[in-house]
Every structure is written in C-alpha cells, then in structure tokens.
C-alpha cells in the first residue's frame, strides 16, 4: 500500500485489475507443483507410476505413504533435533551477523575496507571439504556433536551483506542524535538501528531459519549418532530405503516396493509444511514504517 489516499483514475484501476490477474496467474503456476506433490503423496502408487500429464487430484486416495513416513520412530527425533538446530543455530547466526553487519555499516572506521574484503574473499575462495572436515572433526573435536551443525555455518556472508545494507539505510542523523545523548555503539545498535531495520532483520532470520531447516549436508558429513539426526537426514534415509530403484525385488513384494514412489512425495510435504506455517508470522514485520514513526526525533 503506497498511500492511504485511494486514487480513482481509470489508469490505476485497470492497472489494479491487471495486477491482480497477473498475480493470480503466477499463483497458479507456482502452486501447481506443490499440488502435484500433495496429490501424488495421497495416491495409490501404481496409478502414480503409470500416470502422465497434469495431476489434478489424488489417484486412489490413500494415506499409506504418510503412515509409512510418520510411523518411523526417527521422525520424532528428527523433528526434535531440527527444531533445536533451527532455534540455537539461528540465535547464534543472528547474534554474530548483527554484530558484524552493524560494525561494517558504520562510517569512519579505518579498517572497515580490509575487513570487508577479507570477508568477501571467503565467498570465492575456500579450502574445500577435506581441510574443513579435518578442522571441525579433528582439530576442534566437534564431529558428532551439535556444534558441528551450528558453528561452522555461524555466518552467511550474503546475509551479512544484506543486513549491512539495511543498517546503512538508517539515517545518520539518528545515530548522531543518539551519540549526542551519550549512547555508545551497543546502545545505538540495539535502540536505534535494529528497531528500524525490522523488515530486513526478519528476512535474515527467515533465511537462516530455513537454511537450518533444510540442512542435511553438514549432518551427513559430521554426524554418526542417529540421535542427533536432523529431520532432513531422517527423511532422506526413509526415502532411500523405501525407494528400491537400485534394488532388485521379486514379484511377491510388488506392493511393498511401489509405495516408494509416493513416499518420495510424502517426505517433501512432511518437510515443507512447517515452513508454510511460519511465514505468516513473519509477514507482519513487513508492514512498512509501523515503527518508524515512533522513533522520529
């Protein structure tokens, strides 16, 4: 909403209508694959295997795939662990990223450029899997602990830069006014900059949280104990063991095997559903300027 005053010009009305139509169309084509996945997950496997074309409803409604997935005892463990990784991980992420972004967004800091270059350099050049593995696993003894999933990925440079850009757009005048009032950098960060950057902050929180939610590679490399498996790893395992593509089977087991086809879809739904529910909560931070007025000098 760019203005509270409603404009009634013809041009703008047509635009509104076209806008709505366009977006509705976009909704349809982006919604379709998810619908496909949901329908397929509720379908009878042999019908799905033989089916071609657009799927508009479940074929032979059955909850088999979901029972298979959700009955797995590791699912509860996976969810529990992932929630922990998301919360703890994002907390660490945000703390460090805020500190770093703030520090990089201030002017008149002599070593800012070298530090920034140092950080950006790591976007392009890295040592690869094996040295990192040796570092985390052997030097730091983090292998098979929760730390391996949280600390090595403590800061995402892109997110850092995004937040820095957002912090830079806080008016300098506000910072100067706060300094006159005797505030130090920490105070400015918490009282001035952060509240004014809530939309960007929420986005960065969202990015980190989703990254943790979807993460599996770190766990794949570092985690041996099944007790620490995140959800994605559990789902991956369920998928691999029920998808007997690489296995040879005999006839009598026909239906046990087929179900692998629909389990693939059920795991996607199980993994994605919680995310769908989170976004509405974050959306309220995107309401523009709600808090800005309160902080006007």
Partner 1 sequence: MPNDVTRRAFLRLAGVGSVALALTACQTVTPSSSPTRAPASGAATAPEALTLPIVSQPLTLSYWAPMSTNVAASMKSYGEIACYVELEKRTGVHLDFQHPPLQQEQDQFNLLVASGKYPDVIEFDWLHSYAGGPSKAIKDGVIVRLNDLIDKYAPNYKKVLSDHPEWRKQAVTDEGDIYVFPFLRSDPVLLTFIGPVIRQDWLEKVSLKVPTTLDDWHTMLKAFKDENVNGLGSTIPFSPWFSSIPGGWNAWYGAGAFLEHAFIGAWGITMGFYQVNGTVMYGALQPEFQDFTNLIRTWFSEGLVDPDFPSTDQASFDAKVTSGRLGSMVALDGNGIGKYMGLVKDPTFKLVGAPYPMMKAGDKPLLGQRDFNYPGGGSAAISSQNKHVTESIKELDYAYSDDGHILFNFGIQGDSYTLESGKPTYTAKLMKDPQLPPAQAMSRYIRGNFNGPFVQDAGYIMQYYQLQVQKDALQTWLAPSDERQMPPVTPTQDESRRFASIMNDVNSKFQEVFTKVVNGSEPMDTMAGLPGQLKQIGIDDAIKIQQAALDRYNKRQ
Partner 2 sequence: MSSSARTIPFRRAPAASLARGSLRARIVADLRRNRYIYLMHAPVIAYYVIFHYGPMYGAIIAFKDYSPAQGILGSPWIGLQNFQDFFGSVYIVRLIRNTLAINVLDILFGFPAPIILALLLNELTTPHFKRWVQTITYLPHFMSLVVVVGIMIDFLARDGLINNLLRIGGIQSTAFMQNASWYWILYVGSSIWQSVGWGSIIFLAAIANVDPSLYEAAVVDGANRWRQMWHVTLPGIMPMIITLLILRIGMMMSVGYEKTILMYNPSTYDTADVISSYVYRKGVLGMDYGFSAAVGLFNSVINFAFLFAANRLSRRANQMTLW
Question: Would you call 262 exposed, middle or buried from its count of C-beta atoms within 10 A (0-12, 13-18, 19+)?
Answer: buried
Contact 148, 222 (CB under 8 A): yes
Among 20, 25, 34, 49, binds partner 1 (CB under 8 A): 49
Residues 65-84: x/- map of binding to partner 2 (CB under 8 A)? --------------------
Contact 87, 75 (CB under 8 A): no
Binding partner of residue 147 among partner 2, partner 1, none, CB under 5 to 8 Å per kind? none
**String of DSSP letters for 218-279:** HHHHH---GGG--HHHHHHHHHHHH-GGGS---GGGHHHHHHHHHHHHHHHHHHHHHHHHHH
**Which of 194, 244 has the CB closer to partner 1?**
244
Using CB under 8 A as the binding rule, the residues of this chain from 223 to 262 that contact partner 1 are 224, 226, 233, 236-237, 240-242, 244-258, 261
Tell me how far, at minimum, the Cβ of 48 lies from partner 1, in Å: 9
Q: Which one, of 150, 279, 256, 260, lies nearest residue 210 by Cα?
A: 279
182 touching partner 2, by CB under 8 A? no
Count of residues engaged in binding partner 2, rule: CB under 8 A: 102
Contact 144, 225 (CB under 8 A): yes
Query: Cα torsion at 62, 67, 68, 71 (round to 10°)?
Result: 180
71 touching partner 1, by CB under 8 A? no
Tell me how far, at minimum, the Cβ of 73 lies from partner 2, in Å: 24
Binding partner of residue 283 among partner 1, partner 2, none, CB under 5 to 8 Å per kind? partner 2
Among 122, 224, 241, 249, binds partner 2 (CB under 8 A): 122
Q: Which residues contact 152 (CB under 8 A, 6 or more apart)?
A: 132, 136, 142, 218
Binding partner of residue 241 among partner 2, partner 1, none, CB under 5 to 8 Å per kind? partner 1
Count of residues engaged in binding partner 1, rule: CB under 8 A: 38
Q: At what angle do helices 231-242 and 73-105 cross, to 10 degrees?
A: 140
64 touching partner 1, by CB under 8 A? no
Using CB under 8 A as the binding rule, the residues of this chain from 128 to 147 that contact partner 1 are 129-130, 133-134, 137-138
Binding partner of residue 250 among partner 2, partner 1, none, CB under 5 to 8 Å per kind? partner 1
Triad 104, 109, 114: Cα angle to 5°: 65
Q: Rg of the chain over CA atoms, in angstroms?
A: 25
Binding-site ranges for partner 1 (CB under 8 A): 45-46, 49-52, 129-130, 133-134, 137-138, 220-221, 224, 226, 233, 236-237, 240-242, 244-258, 261
């Amino acid at each position: 909403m760019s203005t509270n005053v409603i404009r009634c010009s013809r041009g703008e009305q047509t635009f509104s209508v076209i806008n709505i139509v366009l977006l509705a169309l976009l909704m349809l084509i982006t919604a379709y694959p998810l619908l496909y996945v949901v329908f397929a997950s509720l379908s009878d496997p042999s019908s799905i295997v033989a089916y071609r074309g657009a799927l508009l409803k479940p074929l032979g409604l059955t909850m088999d795939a979901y029972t298979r997935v959700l009955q797995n005892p590791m699912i509860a463990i996976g969810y529990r662990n992932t929630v922990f990784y998301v919360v703890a991980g994002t907390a660490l992420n945000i703390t460090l990223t805020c500190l770093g972004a703030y520090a990089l967004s201030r002017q008149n800091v002599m070593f800012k450029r070298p530090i920034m270059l140092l950080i950006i350099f790591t976007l392009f050049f890295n040592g690869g899997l094996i040295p990192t593995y040796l570092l985390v696993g052997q030097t730091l003894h983090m292998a098979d602990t929760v730390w391996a999933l949280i600390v090595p990925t403590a800061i995402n440079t892109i997110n850092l830069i995004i937040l820095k850009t957002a912090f830079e757009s806080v008016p300098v005048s506000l910072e100067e006014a706060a300094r006159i009032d005797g505030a130090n950098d920490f105070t400015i960060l918490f009282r001035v900059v952060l509240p004014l950057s809530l939309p960007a902050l929420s986005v960065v929180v969202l990015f980190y949280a989703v990254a943790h939610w979807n993460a599996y590679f770190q766990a794949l490399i570092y985690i041996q104990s099944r007790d620490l498996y995140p959800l994605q790893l559990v789902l991956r395992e369920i998928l691999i063991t029920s998808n007997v593509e690489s296995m040879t089977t005999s006839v009598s087991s026909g239906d046990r095997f087929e179900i692998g086809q629909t389990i693939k879809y059920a795991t996607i739904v199980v993994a994605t559903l919680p995310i769908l529910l989170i976004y509405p909560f974050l959306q309220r931070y995107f309401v523009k300027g709600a808090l800005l007025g309160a902080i006007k000098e």
